[in-house]
């Protein structure tokens, strides 16, 4: 991205003053090198979002921002329903409530080493992944509707996991206001056999070890220590979310023109929050959020089954579960006033600071865990929300490394089997049905996750707590 059009406010904060149809400024949080590497499309998209009705304060881009659909991936924007504010399917994304869940194992790297191959095989066998994979349960209409309104709470009632798990999931595992009747039959049909599946692409299941503790006190509160083994699951709402995203993109494109909303880009399709299409989308999207939470809850159960074959009675409690493609109703202070806002986070993680009532009581003193997924060859990070971040970008942070190379280019550059061998020589076991998928996801095709995390930390969006490196990675 060309720097001359940006005004630097601090080392990690860049502003674009309102111009043209922009109603508010656009703000990008990143270092100068990250900004230089960003696609020009991020500039276009973050300023386009600033033109939407009812937007509050600013249109934000996180340090991992890249070219998305209407909204940049790594985009955050909040809207006021009382000021004709809008809701946008593109501002949430196709994979609604895609997110990361991290489990604590109580094991160390030394304990895992002798059984690494066996554990990798067990996880690979027990968790369905990849194109066309089927889950182990199939839902009928009634069960589907219960799942859509109940989320992870529904999954626990079905015997997947425990009530204690729910305390460590955003919204206690169930977002209210889901309306199954707003979810089309096609979306439900697409999901029928996909519960408890990982998906493909950048989704993964990883056994990781803690290689660095940055903040000792917060790490202790999160249950993390040097050398500890954790397990992270990255996936979303599967076919149901994809279908809802697809259908509402078209419906919102029509709704926007009916409501006289001038869209600079068709993909920015949106509808007033207080409109039939806006309300229908909210009801359907919340169903998809619950679907993603239920999906990660079921996968958690399958992970526990696999671990128990080697480590009987191992508990695997949750560190936390965060979603990064959502629109949620939240209260925020704006110019000294409390406002009820519809906060879109597209490829961005909620990162609430210490003391916030939405943070589970056991973690409230230190802030919400922010789980940042990296690549299978580099690292992931655990951060904590800050009070400063609440003012900076409605309590939001980055979500991952972001690609630096297209899938096409990656396929020309690497062979999947070579990537697997290379990672094995560095102690990382890969299990995947798709060598082509592994090549497309090669670590070299991604930006440096450490630079992204450092920028988020230095900007004050969140605080770095620990670095995790992969030991086993299951890819779709």
Partner 1 sequence: MSECRWELLPHGADIGVRGLGRTKAEAFEQAAVALTAVITEPASVAPNECVEISCAASDDELLLVNWLNALVYEMATRKMLFGRYEVRIEGSQLFGKAWGEPIDEKKHELGVEVKGATCTELKVAIDPDGGWTAQCVVDV
Pairing of strands 13-16, 26-29: antiparallel
Per CB under 8 A, residues contacting partner 1 are 39, 41, 66-69, 73, 93-95, 130-132, 134, 186, 189-190, 192-193, 199-201, 239, 242-243, 245-246, 249-250, 253, 266-267, 269, 402-403, 406-409, 433-437, 440, 476
What is the rounded CA–CA span in Å between residue 376 and residue 475?
9
Between the alpha carbon of residue 87 and those of residues 79, 249, 270, the distances in Å are 8, 11, 5
Residue with Cβ nearer partner 1 (340 or 412)? 412
CB of 131 to partner 1, least distance (A): 4
What is the rounded CA–CA span in Å between residue 311 and residue 207?
15
CB of 462 to partner 1, least distance (A): 22
CB of 408 to partner 1, least distance (A): 5
User: In 10 A of CB 106, how many CB atoms?
Assistant: 14
Residue with Cβ nearer partner 1 (150 or 239)? 239
CB of 89 to partner 1, least distance (A): 10
What is the rounded CA–CA span in Å between residue 349 and residue 355?
18
Residue with Cβ nearer partner 1 (23 or 186)? 186
Is 234 labeled as catalytic in the residue annotation?
A: no
- Asked if 452 contacts 402 with a C-beta cutoff of 8 angstroms, the reply is yes
H or E element, residue 349: strand 349-350
What is the rounded CA–CA span in Å between residue 424 and residue 445?
18
CB of 188 to partner 1, least distance (A): 10
Q: Which of 399, 408, 426, 458 is catalytic?
A: 399
H or E element, residue 475: strand 462-475
The CB-based long-range contact list for 327-330 (8 Å cut-off, 24+ gap) reads 327/87, 327/88, 327/91, 327/92, 327/282, 327/285, 328/175, 330/78, 330/358, 330/394, 330/395
Residue with Cβ nearer partner 1 (232 or 243)? 243
CB of 162 to partner 1, least distance (A): 31
Residue with Cβ nearer partner 1 (190 or 467)? 190
Residue with Cβ nearer partner 1 (187 or 231)? 187
CB of 333 to partner 1, least distance (A): 33
Residue with Cβ nearer partner 1 (105 or 326)? 326
User: In 10 A of CB 299, how many CB atoms?
Assistant: 26
- Asked if 41 contacts 59 with a C-beta cutoff of 8 angstroms, the reply is no
User: Which of 178, 208, 21 lies closest to 97 in space, CA to CA?
Assistant: 178
Between the alpha carbon of residue 358 and those of residues 198, 352, 369, 387, the distances in Å are 27, 8, 12, 13
Which residues carry out catalysis? 399
């Amino acid at each position: 991205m060309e720097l001359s059009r940006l005004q630097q406010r601090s080392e990690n904060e860049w502003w674009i003053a309102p111009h043209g149809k922009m109603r508010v400024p656009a703000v990008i949080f990143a270092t100068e090198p990250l900004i230089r590497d960003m696609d020009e499309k991020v500039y276009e998209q973050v300023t386009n979002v600033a033109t939407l009705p009812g937007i509050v304060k600013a249109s934000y881009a996180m340090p991992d921002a890249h070219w998305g659909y209407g909204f940049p991936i790594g985009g955050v924007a909040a809207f006021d329903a009382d000021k004709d504010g809008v809701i946008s399917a593109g501002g949430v994304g196709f994979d609604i409530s895609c997110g990361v869940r991290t489990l604590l194992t109580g094991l160390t790297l030394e304990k895992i080493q002798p059984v690494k191959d066996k554990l990798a095989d067990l996880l690979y066998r027990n968790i369905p992944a990849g194109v066309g994979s089927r889950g182990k349960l199939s839902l009928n209409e009634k069960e589907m509707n219960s799942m859509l309104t109940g989320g992870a709470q529904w999954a626990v009632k079905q015997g997947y996991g425990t009530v204690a798990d729910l305390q460590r999931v955003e919204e206690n595992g169930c977002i209210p206001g889901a309306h199954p009747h707003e979810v089309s039959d096609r979306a439900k049909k697409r999901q029928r056999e996909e519960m408890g599946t990982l998906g493909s692409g950048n989704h993964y299941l990883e056994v990781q070890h803690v290689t660095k503790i940055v903040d000792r006190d917060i790490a202790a509160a999160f249950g993390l220590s040097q050398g500890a083994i954790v397990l992270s699951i990255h996936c979303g709402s599967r076919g149901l979310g994809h279908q809802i995203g697809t259908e509402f993109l078209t419906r919102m494109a029509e709704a926007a023109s009916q409501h006289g909303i001038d869209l600079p880009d068709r993909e920015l399709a949106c509808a007033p929050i207080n409109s039939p299409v806006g309300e229908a989308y909210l009801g359907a999207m919340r169903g998809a959020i619950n679907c993603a939470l239920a999906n990660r809850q079921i996968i958690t159960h399958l992970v526990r089954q696999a671990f128990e074959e080697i480590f009987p009675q191992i508990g695997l409690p949750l560190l936390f579960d965060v979603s990064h493609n959502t629109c949620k109703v939240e209260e925020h202070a704006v110019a000294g006033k409390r406002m009820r806002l519809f906060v879109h986070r597209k490829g961005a993680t909620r990162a609430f600071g210490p003391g916030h009532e939405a943070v589970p009581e056991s973690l409230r003193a230190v802030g919400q865990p922010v789980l940042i997924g990296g690549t299978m060859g580099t690292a992931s990070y655990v951060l904590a929300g800050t009070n400063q971040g609440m003012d900076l970008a409605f309590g939001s942070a980055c979500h991952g490394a972001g690609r630096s190379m297209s899938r096409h280019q990656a396929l020309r550059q690497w062979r999947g089997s070579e990537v697997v061998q290379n990672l094995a020589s560095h102690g990382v076991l890969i299990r995947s049905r798709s060598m082509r998928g592994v090549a497309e996801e090669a670590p070299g095709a991604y930006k440096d996750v450490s630079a992204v995390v450092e920028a988020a930390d230095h900007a004050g969006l969140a605080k770095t707590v620990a670095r995790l490196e992969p030991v086993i990675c299951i890819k779709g």
